[in-house]
Amino acid sequence: MSEDKKEKKIKETKTKVSQKTPKKASQGGNIFWWIIILAVIAIAGLYFMNNKNANTTAKDDSSSTVEMSKVSTKENNNIKKLIEDNKDILFSKNSKVVVDKVEKGDGVILASLTIDGDKSPFYLTNSKKLILQVIPVEKITKGKNKVLEGVEMKKGQVAVNDKLKEAVKNFINDYLIQGGGKDAKVEIGKISKEDGLIKVNTTLQGQEQPIYLTPSGSKVAFKVISLDDYKKEVATQQAVQKKAAEVSEENKNDKPQVDIFVMSYCPYGTQFEKGIIPVLRLLKDKIDAKIRFVDYAMHNKKELDENVVQYCIQKNTPDKFYDYLDCFLESGKSKECVQKTGIDADKLASCSDTTDKQFKVSENFKDKSTWKGQFPTFDIDKADNAKYGVQGSPTLIINGQKIQPAGRDAKHLLEAVCGGFKNPPAECQKELSSKSPSSGFGSGATSGGSGGGCAQ
């Protein structure tokens, strides 16, 4: 797997769980435990908070090993109604959700769904509580064990005794805590049967986190919550996100300053640019907009060089800059786009050479003592990175305030930028596309948007 693909997979995993996803319950104060859960997701290769499913979008191959039975017609209809009535809370708004079948077994109700064409399991307890972050044990152990090693089984179900406590402790140490080993201080508290599941109270570094097992021991879950409580958490999360997406009243002005910080080869930076360019074109000189660059590069020397190229085009031929970006974001071929947009290649090369020397771009690339961790520095916008606390790509700053827009489509980005005006112009009423651009190079859209980013 290439470094770029590795980075994309890791960053996407983290951000989908920890940022900007409206369909997730808030994580509360157990930060250390949630870092562990993120690590589990990365290890298992499961992207469960993909703006589609409150439970998990991962294919569950283990269900075939546990006997499941059909529910009654009445219960089947009740589950379908629950999902239909709450689909805008449980899934991305306007998603097409089809309930293929509803089964019962292993302490859970399993609704097999098709969401926007993708198959996805949806888990409920017997009392219709949501079961979140459901992961087959064999996914975490990479096939080594289908149930927790060391548990005692009776008639195909986990026995609740001291052996289970030891098995859970070893499971956490061996698979959930990277480098934790047998000496990690995980405390196992009360174990009880709750609503068809086995609830194991655990404490790690003073933080409590219950873990739930299905009776067969084949699946582990990290949260069980009632639908009403989930709705409250979603509402709270959305209120926080709404505030983060809006420019405060004291920061509004007559001509908003819009600074977009990216890495030129970051797949999420390119996605963001594709979404915001229509906004910049629409508002023109009514805003003071500038593409800036994160003060380090994660995509090798080619990214440093492309950053310099874009800096020079924006500086010397601003009237052709967005045309160049349209081409580059589609193809990723800088030289072809320079020619296609009629930019003077010789003048561009001269500017690039001067800029490279002025900001010691190539010099610092060769001198690893100047790097930020494992990545080379890029100092053209270094002062503004420090001023605004920029940590990765993309970052949007409006009137000096860091903004987290509700989406990366042109519609939501126009709303974010227009929020910086004291008196928004007529252009702010224009209806732009609500389709989120695909990440990386190329055209097209992605369902459910993306909260991914490139950051160390």
- Read off the pLDDT of residues 430-453 as tens digits, 9 standing for 90 and up: 999 988 999 999 988 775 455 789
Question: Measuring CA to CA, which residue among 230, 237, 232 is closest to residue 404?
Answer: 237
Mean pLDDT of the chain: 84
pLDDT at 12 over 50: no
Rounded distance between C-alpha atoms, residue 28 and residue 49, angstroms = 16
Delineate the domains of the chain, giving CATH numbers in brackets.
3-239 (no CATH), 246-455 (3.40.30.10)
Please give the Cα distance from 293 to 270 (Å, whole number).
Answer: 12
pLDDT digits over 332-352, tens only? Answer: 999 999 999 999 999 999 999
28 pLDDT higher than 60 = no
How far apart are alpha carbons 268 and 452 in whole angstroms? Answer: 6
Residue 228 has what pLDDT? Answer: 94
Please give the pLDDT value at position 142.
82
Beta-bridged to residue 224, according to DSSP, are 131
Flag the least confident range among 36-50, 129-143, 196-210, 364-378.
36-50
Of the listed ranges 212-221, 268-277, 355-364, the least confidently predicted one is 212-221
With 70 as the cut, is the pLDDT of residue 22 above it?
no
Residue 7 clears pLDDT 50, i.e. is over it: no
Q: Is the dihedral of CA 323, 327, 328, 334 positive or negative?
A: negative
Q: What are phi and psi of 9, to 5 degrees?
A: -65, -45
Amino acid code (one letter) for 434: S
Confidence at residue 88, expressed as pLDDT on a 0 to 100 scale: 86
Mean pLDDT of 197-226: 89
User: Tens of pLDDT along 154-189?
Assistant: 888 888 888 998 888 888 888 877 544 455 578 889
Average pLDDT over residues 262-269: 96
pLDDT > 90: percent of the chain: 58
pLDDT per residue as tens digits for the range 61-91:
444 467 899 999 999 999 999 999 999 889 8
Q: What is the pLDDT of residues 287-301, one digit of tens each?
A: 999 999 999 999 999
Alpha-helix runs per DSSP H in 134-189: 137-140, 162-171
Report the pLDDT value the prediction gives residue 328, as an integer from 0 to 100. Answer: 97
Residue 50 pLDDT class (50, 70, 90 cuts): very low
What percentage of residues in the chain have a pLDDT greater than 70?
A: 83
Supply 64's token pair. Answer: 């075939």
CA–CA separation, 434 and 176 (whole Å): 38
Q: Is the pLDDT of residue 133 over 50?
A: yes
Pairing of strands 288-293, 257-262: parallel
pLDDT higher than 80, residue 205: no
- Across 219-223, 366-370, 376-380, 413-417, least confident range: 219-223
Q: Is the peptide bond before 394 cis (omega within 30 degrees of 0)?
A: yes
Distance of CA 77 to the CA centre of its chain: 33
User: By the 8 A CB rule, do 405 and 416 touch?
Assistant: yes
pLDDT (mean) for 7-21: 35
Q: Which amino acid is at 264?
A: S
Answer positive or negative: Cα dihedral of 312, 315, 319, 323.
positive
* Highest mean predicted confidence (pLDDT) among 159-168, 179-188, 233-242, 407-416: 407-416
What are the pLDDT digits (tens) for 251-261?
999 999 999 99
pLDDT of residue 276: 97
Confidence tier at 34 by pLDDT (50, 70, 90): low
Q: Which of 221-230, 258-267, 339-348 has the lowest mean pLDDT?
A: 221-230
For residue 455, CA distances in Å to 55, 329, 349 come to 27, 20, 29
Q: Model pTM greater than 0.85?
A: no
Strand ranges (E), 226-334: 257-262, 288-293
User: Do 288 and 257 meet the contact criterion of CB atoms below 8 Å apart?
Assistant: yes
Confidence at residue 227, expressed as pLDDT on a 0 to 100 scale: 94
